[in-house]
Structure 1
Amino acid sequence: MAQVYFHCSNTEHALIDQCGASIDDLAEARERAALIVRSLITTPTTEDWRGWVLHVSDDLGDEIFSVPFASVLGKPH
């Protein structure tokens, strides 16, 4: 089991995950990352999430992978 952190940022802001989560494997980390992104983009707000990226890091601060919010949002119509 590993402790990972899910930080979100764009060019102007950052949302820092102070607690992290214990995960068993990379697949679980990817599932949790997708859940976090979907949760943020479906919350009523005026934020344009297309420029945001979720960064998944280990307990040493090394990035494991990232998920651009645009990959979940799709292309604007």
Structure 2
Amino acid sequence: MTQVYFHCSSTQKVFVDRRGAVVDGLEEARDHATRVVHSFTDELSLEDWRDWVLHVSDDQGDELFVIPFSFVLGKPH
């Protein structure tokens, strides 16, 4: 079990995850990261999420991986 944090950033804004989540491994962290991206993009807003990036870090502050929101959202139609 590892505590990981899911920070989101764009060129103009940053959202810092202060609570994090306890996960069993990278696969569970990836699944949680995908849910975090959807929680942002499913809200009704005028925000263009395609330039946002989710940074997943451990409790030491080391970055484990990065997921561009566009990977989760796919191409615009």
Category of TM-score, reference length = shorter chain: over 0.9
Alpha-carbon distance in 2 for matches of 1:19, 1:36: 13
TM (norm. structure 1) is 0.95
Q: SS in structure 2 opposite 1:22?
A: strand
Counting aligned pairs with the same residue, the percent is: 57
Alpha-carbon distance in 1 for matches of 2:66, 2:7: 9
How far did residue 38 of structure 1 move?
1.1
Alpha-carbon distance in 2 for matches of 1:49, 1:11: 11
Aligned residues: 77
Corresponding position of 2:41: 41
Aligned alpha-carbon RMSD (Å): 0.8
Contiguous gaps of at least 5 residues in structure 2: none
Q: SS in structure 2 opposite 1:18?
A: coil
The runs of 4+ residues in structure 1 deviating greater than 3 Å are none
Matches within 5 A, 1:1-77: 1-77=1-77
